[in-house]
Amino acid sequence: MKRTRITTILAAAALVVTACNGDDAGDADANGDATNGATLQVEAGDLYFEPEELSASAGEIEVVLDNVGDVEHDFVIEEEDDTVVVHADPGETATGTITLDAGTYTFYCSIPGHRATMEGVLEVS
């Protein structure tokens, strides 16, 4: 139960970050600025991510997590101190942002037991 509470708090924090950065992310998309991030659409199900290979430009990256499953899922970047970028409850689509330098990152779902099949690679150039 404690784990669930922590996840809920992190999700709330992610929503606040999204609200603050929403305009910036929109501008990046509208301008098609290839040097500043991207919007990544990721489907989370029970228990998978689709796709498992993502790519983006360095900068502010927006992750839209569409949870089509029956349990909660999140999107965590291992190399960024296991930061929860976004969390989505069952049936929810949630958006989070993270700023990343160029590199290869591992993303995964941190809900207990999920990572075994919910893990992928994010290439940032």
Positions that interact with Cu ion (CB under 5 A): 73, 109, 111, 114, 118
Alpha-carbon span 108 to 121, nearest angstrom: 9
28 vs 84 by CB, closer to Cu ion: 84
Beta carbon of residue 111, minimum distance to Cu ion (angstroms, whole number): 4
By beta carbon distance, the residue nearest Cu ion is 109
Which residue's CB is nearer to Cu ion, number 73 or number 96?
Answer: 73
- Nearest one of 28, 71, 26, 69 to 50, comparing CA atoms: 69
Longest CA–CA separation in the chain, Å: 43
Query: Closest separation between CB of residue 114 and Cu ion, Å?
Result: 3
Pairing of strands 103-108, 59-67: unpaired
Minimal distance in Å, beta carbon 113 to Cu ion?
8
